[in-house]
Amino acid sequence: MSPGVPTSLESHSVKMLAIMEQWDGKGSCHTDNTNQYLYLMLFKASLDAVVLYLCWRRLHTSFLSMCGLSIVLADVALLWSMTIVWFLGPEQSPVSTCFVLAHTSAAYAALPLPMVCLGLLDYLSEDKCLGKQGPLCKSLRNMALVLLVWVFAVVYSLGSAKNDPMEIEYLGGKTALVCEVQESPLVAYFVFGVFIAVILTLVPFWSRIPQWMREAERLSDLREEPPQYQRSDLMFNSTMDGDIKSGEENFLLENLQHRPSLWLSITLGFVTIWMPYLSISVACLLLGLGVPAYIIVNLLWLECTNSLLVGVAFWVKSNRLGPYSHLPDDVCLWRVYWHLSKGTNQQKLPTAVFNPSQGKRKTLLHV
């Protein structure tokens, strides 16, 4: 049993024991692990800061984006609470460390299911009746839904959390003061299920994946190539016809005989970004490293979930809307992988023409 790290109560249970204090049988060696939990909160807050910096531009664009912002604020509040408890000590602190950990773990464990369900519904209904709402109405609606989810989580934590510490004896007479906290089985099952599904999807096409990746990289480079004037996403299809038909690209296109289907291409785009996170998470699960809900439910997991849900919505709506529907996710290059599956460069390309009569960059005519 490692001090400061929650230890599983049972292998099949969603309950865990967080070690608050421990001492040997004679009471001569005493260890308080409150500072180690404070370090865990600080690590999570630092991870949130990194992801928040990378995703700052679209934090207000969708329901899941606002959920991510709310998790960051909750993590800051949790870090602040743990700091106060550690600074004041158990005698002067209004609440105990066990109270904070038990209730926050229960609240975080209740968040994933409503967030995932409402997030998927938000993306699938974006271009229907909800898509007719203005930005302000969408923001207010998302804020109300996020607040409702958190109210549900707090009510759940008040009814299910056990904040009374327990004293147990283990390892030949050693004694520990422990607190019961909760895991988030939905996050664990979600990560493991996505990992297995991705592996089973890509293994039959393993020999073709390197070729597809080279083609996707070429399309991405062509899209990001700086022109004399700024271009939209439409223009990377056809701006420089000479570049598209260069000898090296023609050779690559001729050898790319089998293009992936749209769902396979979208899966490849998702894996390119999120496979490292999925692999590390699955490795922790297989090694039996129990992680409490207030750690595993974080902004990184929510961004991975957001990319997955956007990919599903993009696959559902792309046949109707094409690759240029509004997508509140700029982590995965969905449009590049759409063109990879459709073989755009092997067909007659649409041409985006700049209208010089409207100034430097005002109108793009699609002909």
Q: Residue by residue, what is the 3-state secondary structure of 133-179?
A: CCHHHHHHHHHHHHHHHHHHHHHHHHHHCCCCCEEEEECCCEEEEEE
Instruction: Work out the pLDDT band at 187, boundaries 50, 70, 90.
Output: very high
Domain boundary among 147, 182, 217: 182
The tokens describing 67, both together, are 């959920």
Residue 9, Cβ neighbours under 10 Å: how many? Answer: 16
176 and 41 both lie in a single domain: yes
Boundary of a domain, candidates 120, 147, 182: 182
Q: Over the chain, what is the mean pLDDT?
A: 76
Q: Are residues 140 and 224 in the same domain?
A: no
Could you tell me if 255 and 344 lie in one domain? yes
In a domain, 15, yes or no: yes
Q: What is the pLDDT of residues 18-73, one digit of tens each?
A: 888 877 766 567 677 788 888 989 999 999 888 888 877 665 668 888 899 999 99
State how far the Cα of 131 lies from the Cα of 138, in Å rounded to an integer: 9
**Does residue 317 fall inside a structural domain?**
yes
pLDDT at 106 over 50: yes
Based on the domain organization, do 45 and 176 belong to the same domain? Answer: yes
pLDDT for 90 equals 74
DSSP string, 44-111: HHHHHHHHHHHTGGGTTSSHHHHHHHHHHHHHHHHHHHHHHHHHHHHHH-SS-HHHHHHHHHHHHHTS
Indicate whether 169 belongs to any domain: yes
Nearest to 110 by CA among 14, 44, 222, 194: 14
User: What is the rounded (10 degree) CA torsion for 162, 84, 75, 192?
Assistant: -50
Statement: residue 342 has pLDDT above 90 = no
**Do 95 and 168 fall into the same domain?**
yes
Q: How far is it, in rounded angstroms, from Cα 200 to Cα 203?
A: 6
Residues 24 and 168 in one domain: yes
Among 182, 209, 231, the domain boundary falls at 182
Residues 271 and 159 in one domain: no
Residue 224 sits in the same domain as residue 351: yes
Tokens of 94: 């209004």
Q: Is residue 187 situated within a structural domain?
A: no
Do 166 and 236 belong together in one domain? Answer: no
Q: How many domains does the chain have?
A: 2
Domain residues for the domain of 29 are 7-182
65 contacts 306 by C-beta, under 8 angstroms: yes
Check whether residue 23 and residue 125 sit in a common domain.
yes
If asked whether residues 201 and 121 sit together in one domain, one would say no
145 within some domain = yes
pLDDT band (50, 70, 90) for residue 118:
very high
Q: Is the pTM of this model over 0.75?
A: yes
Whether residue 165 sits in one domain with residue 242 = no
